[in-house]
Amino acid sequence: MDYTIIIADDHPLFRTALKSSVLQALDEPEIHETGSIAGLQTLLESALSPDLILLDLNMPGAHGLSGLIFLRGQYPSVPVAVVSASEDSQVVHKVMNHGANGFIPKSTPLHDLKDAVINILQGGNWWPENIQPSEAQGKSDIETKLASLTPQQFRVLGMISEGLLNKQIAYDLSVSEATVKAHVTAIFKKLGVRSRTQAVIAIKELEIDPPPIKKNQI
C-alpha cells in the first residue's frame, strides 16, 4: 500500500534521519517535510491527505502541546505520532491524553521506530515500553479554547506569539491589515483575553520543559 507521510520537525538533520527510517520501514512512501507549524498547515490545506503525521512538539509556531491540540481539533481523523527529545513520562501522558496515536522518543532504536510507524499506520498505537496507559483527563480551559480556533486564526496566533505586528502578519499572509485585525479580535474573544500579551501568556501554559542536558552533551 502507498502511504503519505508528513515529517514536521525543525531540525533538518533529524528530518533526514527520520525520513531514512520511514523509507526503510515502508515500500516507496510519499514523504513531505516541514520545519514549522505554518508549513504543516500549508501541506494540510493543500490536496494532500496524509496517512500519518510525525510531529515534533517544539518548532516555530508551536508552544509545546499547542500544535497537537490544533491537529486533533481540525484534523481528528489523521493519525499523529509525536516524535520528541523529551522522554518525561508526564509529557508522554499529556500527549496520550490529547489524542496522539503514539509517542516516539528521538533516542528510539531504528527497529523500534520502524515498528512504531507500521503499527500506527495499521490502526494501532505505539508508546514507550515503560509507559502505562493513563486514564483520560479533562481538558483545561485554554486547551478547549485553542481547539476552537480556525486554521487561519491559529496561524495568526502563532505569529503573534513570535512578536509580529499586524502589518507584518498581513504581509506574510498576503491579506489586508483589516483582515488580520478581525482575526485578532476573534482570537481574543475565543481565548477570553484582551491583549496580545494575555494571549501569549495563555498559550505558554501548554509549553513543556525542555529535556535536561546530559553531561556528555556539554
Residue ranges of E strands in the chain = 4-8, 30-34, 52-55, 80-84, 102-105
What would the pLDDT profile of 2-17 be if each residue is shown by its tens digit?
Answer: 899 999 999 998 899 8
pLDDT band at 83 (very low <50, low <70, confident <90, very high): very high
- Arithmetic mean of pLDDT over the chain: 85
Domain 141-204 maps to which CATH number in 1.10.8.60, 3.20.20.70, 1.10.10.10, 3.90.1150.10? 1.10.10.10
pLDDT band at 216 (very low <50, low <70, confident <90, very high): very low
Q: Is the pLDDT of residue 39 over 80?
A: yes
The CATH class of the 4-121 domain is: alpha beta
Please compute, for residue 120, the number of CA atoms within 13 A of its CA located in the half-sphere on the CB side.
30
The model's pTM: 0.80
Q: Where in the chain is the domain with CATH 3.40.50.2300?
A: 4-121
Q: Where in the chain is the domain with CATH 1.10.10.10?
A: 141-204
Least confidently predicted of 100-104, 138-142, 146-150, 213-217: 213-217
pLDDT for residue 135: 53
Residue positions counted in the chain: 218
Rounded Cα–Cα distance for residues 23 and 27 (Å): 7
Rounded Cα–Cα distance for residues 191 and 38 (Å): 20
